Structure 1
Amino acid sequence: MNNQVKMAIIAIAIVIPLSSYSVWASDSSLQIRDENSSNKIQAISSFYPLYEFAQKVGQDKVDVKLLVPEGVEPHDWEPTIQDVQKMQKADFVIINGIGFENWVDSLEDMNYSGIVIDTSHGIIEGEIFEDHDKHESEDGHENEDEHGHESKNEEEHESEDGHGHGSGDPHIWLNPVLAKTQVQNIADSFSKFDPNNKDFYQTNANNYKDELDLLDATIKQELSQCNRDFIAFHDAFSYFANEYDLNQHTIISSNDPHAEPTAKTLENVINTARELNIEIIFTEDTIDTRVSTVIANEIGGKILVLSPLEFGGEGNYISRMTENLQNLKEALC
């Protein structure tokens, strides 16, 4: 992929128009809808968490649709011409950003002429991630270097064994503090497009952010006296781990949950679990559990689910993050 094009598409905090479509940041000059229009705003969210965030903000004034079908891995999904036609009819296409939706790069070739809202605006300002700068800790696990989000504070930390937290990790929605920024970016975009209902969107966003604040406070309290090290399946919880002073170790040291671990990697994970007295190995709700089960059996432990919430399911964002918290408590406390 052409590096200049990729940088133009992913750049955060500025608007860079391409030949056929634009990426909007939340502080951009957005076009305003006809103030006499009684039609609902049409929004398409790339995957589940953004779908729920947009629904919470827009409620009955916004018709939100999900772009990536249920049960389809969003990491691998690519739009068809029919999908682009659906996007053409929408006022907004809402994406996570930070390279999660690789298909954004193909929209220009498909003559997409609409607007893309990047909800990561303000989280990692102006940084472009193409390659993952990784290092190996003494136990042989590759982990990503520090990222620069402005959540807990602007300083990042690294655990003593060299496990850093997330350069280029797109899973910002798994940190409730960063999810608040995504919600606000959606509210800002709706408000600027439909200023007559600005107070409505902002009130809804504030109410939902209050729920996220409560979730954040609950996680902090529930995990404050617990052990800090956990083994996730793939490198999805870097922002979460950073926010709550945890150390994420992974079976798959990449953002691709379908990557295959080597025999050496499995040996390293088993050794890490034994050294840190870890008895629970996390798997995910949409992947084969065999690898996690092999490791758990080897250490005399068991597996639990730590969901990256990339798919819809029973419950909502808050309830499913609470389920993650309960499983983390069982593993750490």
Structure 2
Amino acid sequence: MLYRLIICLSLISSAFCNAPKLKVVATFSILGDLIRQVGGVDVEVNFIVPESADPHVYQPTPQDAAMLAKAELVFINGLDFEGWLERLIANSGYTGEVITASAKVKPRILVNSKGETVDDPHAWHCVKNAMLYVECIADALIAARPSLKDKILKNKETYLNELIKLEEWVQAQYQRFPAARRLVVTTHDAFWYYGDAYNITFLSPVGISTDAEPSAAAVANLIKDIRTKNIRAVFIESLSSRKLIVEIAAEAGVNVDGTLYADSLSASHQTASPAQSYVAMIRHNTQEIVKGLDS
């Protein structure tokens, strides 16, 4: 009798331990990493936009629709970032919840060239905003799989502590630079939240979306700013063409300092991949900017 009881308990334990993972789809790699950190080994996370593709102008594939159809939960950034998502969901037949990870963030609101009000979607570049993403992610994962509550809350606490230390580290890197020197040029207007958090002014030839076309006046004004304000921190972004920024830097008589990651992590399969996680991306970008400000 005791032997049978042990066998039954063993089978129940085995079934519990081998419970299927919660299948989650995120729209892009940065969001996918935040979900992985909170969900841990019990959550299977896939993301739609590969690291090599630009989320602003991404064209979904039939494979994306198939992946979405199998998901139990879908996470998006929101803030007008995934303009292609509604069509993809319709094509996939997905009928589950769509969670907006940025729901607790206070967005930067802009007016585009058509006079329309739009949100700046790049909220994750402020580490404190990423903490708000983590809160939303944890709440959604627990609601979807209550049996994982204790594990998810533990993962959340561990990761939030890591982000708190990251925030303190980033703040410390800029203490020796007066505000007047904290001037950085990038490919598009993706780093406002970072700049607002760490008192850095970012200048760029185009707006918040990479599909915008720079005007001749905007380029001329940027070249003038680089010259007159003695800006030395000039960067390309990992998903953007080098051509425009290289031409601007050459005209202004400065060098391009390196690469920043704005809308995607770096590919995990690459040997030299400095931004394979959210934390690594923030550290890499900060170290690059500091080197640029020091030049």
- Shorter chain as denominator, the TM-score bin is 0.7 to 0.9
Letter in 2 for 1:307: Y
SS at match of 1:305: strand
Aligned residue number for residue 105 of structure 2:
123
Post-superposition Cα deviations, 1:304-331, rounded to whole Å, max 9, x if no partner, equal: 2222042433232212221111111122
Letter in 2 for 1:287: S
Kept in 2: contact 1:237–1:248 (CA 8 A): yes
Post-superposition Cα deviations, 1:172-201, rounded to whole Å, max 9, x if no partner, equal: 111111111111211111112222221210
**1:114 and 2:96 correspond:** yes
Structure 2 counterparts to residues 226-265 of structure 1, below 5 A: 226=177, 227-252=181-206, 254-265=207-218
Q: Distance in 1 between matches of 2:246 and 2:88?
A: 40
For 1:322, which of 273, 283, 288 is the aligned residue? 283
Structure showing greater Rg: 2
**1:53 and 2:34 correspond:** yes
Q: Distance in 2 between matches of 1:108 and 1:324?
A: 33
Q: Distance in 2 between matches of 1:272 and 1:184?
A: 40
Q: Please, which moves more after superposition, 235-244 or 102-111?
A: 102-111
Q: CA deviation at 1:256?
A: 2.0
The runs of 5 or more residues in structure 2 that have no matched partner are 1-15, 268-272
For 2:172, which of 208, 221, 231 is the aligned residue? 221
SS at match of 2:204: strand
Aligned residue number for residue 264 of structure 2:
310
Kept in 2: contact 1:279–1:299 (CA 8 A): no
Letter in 1 for 2:141: F
Letter in 2 for 1:224: Q
Distance 1:197 1:112, change over 3 A: closer
Identity across matched positions, percent: 29
Distance 1:279 1:103, change over 3 A: same
Distance 1:109 1:48, change over 3 A: closer
- TM-score (norm: length of structure 1): 0.73
For 2:43, which of 62, 65, 71 is the aligned residue? 62
Aligned residue number for residue 162 of structure 2:
211
For 2:249, which of 285, 290, 296 is the aligned residue? 296
Kept in 2: contact 1:279–1:296 (CA 8 A): no
Aligned residue number for residue 277 of structure 1:
230
Structure 2 counterparts to residues 34-53 of structure 1, below 5 A: 38-53=19-34
Kept in 1: contact 2:55–2:263 (CA 8 A): no
For 2:127, which of 166, 169, 176 is the aligned residue? 176
- TM-score (norm: length of structure 2): 0.82
Aligned residue number for residue 147 of structure 2:
196
SS at match of 1:281: strand
Distance 1:195 1:109, change over 3 A: closer
Post-superposition Cα deviations, 1:89-130, rounded to whole Å, max 9, x if no partner, equal: 1111111111111123325643431211110111138x9x7x
Kept in 2: contact 1:41–1:61 (CA 8 A): yes
Q: Distance in 1 between matches of 2:62 and 2:236?
A: 34
Higher helix share: 2
Q: CA deviation at 1:230?
A: 1.5
Aligned residue number for residue 85 of structure 1:
66
Distance 1:36 1:326, change over 3 A: closer
Q: Distance in 2 between matches of 1:62 and 1:287?
A: 32
Q: Distance in 1 between matches of 2:70 and 2:293?
A: 47
Letter in 2 for 1:46: T
SS at match of 1:50: helix
Q: Distance in 2 between matches of 1:71 and 1:213?
A: 29
Q: Distance in 1 between matches of 2:47 and 2:232?
A: 37
Distance 1:290 1:79, change over 3 A: closer
Q: Distance in 2 between matches of 1:73 and 1:289?
A: 14
Matched pairs, number: 265
Post-superposition Cα deviations, 1:18-69, rounded to whole Å, max 9, x if no partner, equal: xxxxxxxxxxxxxxxxx99921100011111111111111111111112123
Letter in 2 for 1:94: F
Distance 1:211 1:283, change over 3 A: same
Aligned residue number for residue 6 of structure 2:
none
Aligned residue number for residue 270 of structure 2:
none
SS at match of 2:74: strand
Q: Distance in 2 between matches of 1:122 and 1:92?
A: 19
